[in-house]
Amino acid sequence: MSRPRTVLCLSGHDPGGGAGLQADIETLAAHGVHALGAITALTVQDSRDVRRVIATDPALLDEQLTVLLADVRPDAVKLGLLGDPAQLPVIVRHLARLAVPVVCDPVLRAGGGTDLVAAGFPAALRALLLPQVTVLTPNAAEARRLVPDVASDLAACAAALLADGCQRVLITGGDEAAPTVVNRAYGGTPPVRVHDWPRLPETFHGAGCTLASAIVARLALGDTADEAIAAGQRWTQAALARAVALGQGRRIPGRLPQ
């Protein structure tokens, strides 16, 4: 049998399974891609909000990745919640050795409003990590927080993030107050691609994780960055339309076959 395509996921753990590593695993499995995983942070959370984040020790994360990557070479990497800025040099060192496509979902704040990272984390992410990133997938609020000096202009935010070294920036509009969801992909040709999606009536827990995982799945399967961005959005919109209410808060995307 041929070896399946694999994606290394560095993400937090959500006990409810709506976001984080479980979202990655389910999305990748739905695309026929095998997930390798290292948990970057444990969390105390439910479908409404995150109450606490406990970061994985960087030395332990380094040991996990060293042993795993000596045995298996992934076809792509997906980065989600990173619990501690001290993890960044470890991750960057391994990414540089792998030289495979990387999708980064810069998780800075929970959907319920809780801040998830230290004050200096956005600047450290830009300086250290973005040169290794193929596709960055911030929502509008995250893009503004990453580039606070031009926060009023999302196009300027994207230009600054591209200048930091990533190849594509997909700024999603699900968190914006607008009748439709407008996602804009920056970089490539044409330099801006606008993707409009119907705004569904529910709110969602794990939508960003699902989108980033769908994009990285398509990259692992051989799509170009622009193809993966388009296909990942289509798949995620369908998963959101199938979302289920497991708890008392936001709905969880329907990532598994019905």
pTM listed for this prediction: 0.96
Domain presence at residue 207: yes
The parent domain of residue 235 ranges over 6-241
How many C-beta neighbours within 10 Å does residue 31 have? 19
pLDDT for residue 13: 96
d(CA 97, CA 93): 7
pLDDT (tens place) for every residue of the chain, 258 residues total: 688 999 999 999 999 999 999 999 999 999 999 999 999 999 999 888 888 999 999 999 999 999 999 999 999 999 999 978 999 999 999 999 999 999 999 988 776 666 667 778 899 999 999 999 999 999 999 999 999 999 889 999 999 999 999 999 999 998 888 889 999 999 988 999 999 999 999 999 999 999 999 999 999 999 999 999 999 999 999 999 999 998 888 999 999 876
Contact present, 65 and 58 (Cβ < 8 Å): no
pLDDT for residue 212: 98
Both tokens of 156, joined, read: 């300027």
Domain presence at residue 172: yes
How many C-beta neighbours within 10 Å does residue 153 have? 12
Number of domains forming the structure of the chain = 1
Domain presence at residue 120: yes
Domain presence at residue 256: no
**Domain of residue 184, CATH code:** 3.40.1190.20
Domain presence at residue 73: yes
Domain presence at residue 257: no
pLDDT for residue 175: 84
Domain presence at residue 219: yes
Domain presence at residue 221: yes
d(CA 136, CA 109): 16
